[in-house]
Amino acid sequence: MKLITWNVNSVKSRLARTKELLLRHRPDVLALQELKVSDEVFPSSEFQELGYRTAVHGQSGRNGVALLSRRSMTDVAEGFAGDPVPDQARVVAATVDGIRVVNLYVVNGRAVGTSDYELKLRWLDALGAWIRAEHDPRDPLLIVGDFNVAPDDRDVHDPVLWRGSNLCSEAERERIGSLLDWGLVDLLRLQSAGPGPFTWWDYRAGAFHRGWGLRIDLALGTPAVAERCTEVLVDRDERKPTSGEGKPSDHAPLVVNLR
DNA sequence: ATGTCACTTTACAAGTGA
């Protein structure tokens, strides 16, 4: 099974590039974040024409997540029990080929010390509690998406500059660490010791061109999934302004191959 | 830190969030 996770930063602005991505990689599953559209406006028929079923948890203007799949999806679920902000569309899950796929868009947090950051920590705590309560590390589980956390210094172009900042702070990293302690494996790190690769570059200050990136888009799998993992890579070309129709997202897609 | 982008409101710009 081939799965791609990508924060598109508006599915409307990225529709042509998303279709190109599907035709280029032909993934079995595409997990999208930051749709910025309601369910009614989500372009399901455009993806159905390419052979994909859709499970959409949309929201007008902000957030929004979707799963596209060439194979049937069962037990589709939106949100999670205990979400401190259940009105925000940040989680959609489905079972594909016996694997429970959970697609996340984690609260950004804006800056350490703000109320947004405190919400981010509460949200990650609630997510972790839900995962531990409703899932079993012995089952095939794959949690993907925009985690808005760089798990350690290998995931940051300049760890000294970023030390303690939002996306890199210890409190956020502890929350990711507790998911790994529970039994999830960071699939990219099976393939690449780092530093890098990165998945996100700020739009400002020519960050992509200068290599100022972070790895905040992750694929975490239980051992049953990790042992099937043959390849994980970042489609860095997708982040280039020149490599598709219209402008790029600020995130690059993360591609995961399972045996 | 910031050479940006996409959204919304009531709109022909400014504020917000990332």
Output Rg (C-alpha) for chain A, integer angstroms: 17
In the block, which residue shows the tokens 């099974």?
A: A1
Task: Read off the pLDDT band of A235 (50, 70, 90).
Answer: very high
Q: Is the CB of A134 under 7 A from strand B?
A: no
CB distance A101 to A55 below 8 Å: no
Nucleotide nearest to A251 (CA to C1'): B18
- Of the residues A28, A52, A117, A146, only one is catalytic, namely A146
One-character DSSP codes across A116-184: HHHHHHHHHHHHHHHHHHH--TTS-EEEEEE-S---SGGGBS-HHHHTTSTTT-HHHHHHHHHHHHHT-
Check residues 166 to 195 of chain A and report those whose beta carbon is under 7 Å from nucleic acid strand B. none
* Chain segment A20-68, per-residue pLDDT in tens: 999 999 999 999 999 999 999 999 999 999 999 999 999 999 999 999 9
* Chain segment A206-230, per-residue pLDDT in tens: 999 999 999 999 999 999 999 999 9
Q: Is the CB of A9 under 7 A from strand B?
A: yes
Q: Which structural domains are found in chain A, ordered by start?
A: 2-258 (3.60.10.10)
Which of A167, A223, A157, A216 minimizes the C-alpha distance to A190?
A223
- How does DSSP classify residue A36? -
Task: Read off the pLDDT band of A105 (50, 70, 90).
Answer: very high
| pTM exceeding the 0.85 threshold for the entire prediction | yes
Question: Judging by DSSP bridges, how do beta strands A254-258 and A91-96 pair with one another?
Answer: unpaired
Q: Is the CB of A247 under 7 A from strand B?
A: yes
CA–CA dist A245, A16 (Å, integer): 6
Is A52 among the residues known to form the active site? no
Check residues 101 to 120 of chain A and report those whose beta carbon is under 7 Å from nucleic acid strand B. 107-108, 110, 116
- How does DSSP classify residue A187? T
